[in-house]
Amino acid sequence: MEERIGIVGHFFSNVGVAAVKLEAPLKRGEKVHVKGHTTDFVCTVASLQIDRKDVAEAKAGDDVGFPVPERVREHDEVFRVHG
Q: Are strands 40-44 and 26-27 parallel, antiparallel or unpaired?
A: unpaired
| Residue 65: per-residue pLDDT | 98
Taking residues 15-39, report their average pLDDT.
Answer: 98
Q: Are strands 17-22 and 2-12 parallel, antiparallel or unpaired?
A: antiparallel
pTM, two decimal places: 0.96
| Residue 83: per-residue pLDDT | 73
Provide the CB-side half-sphere exposure for 49 (13 A, CA).
11
Q: How confident is the model over 45-71, as pLDDT tens digits?
A: 999 999 999 999 999 999 999 999 999
2-81 CATH fold: Elongation Factor Tu (Ef-tu); domain 3 (2.40.30)
Q: Tell me how far apart the alpha carbons of residues 81 and 37 are, in angstroms, rounded to a whole number.
A: 19
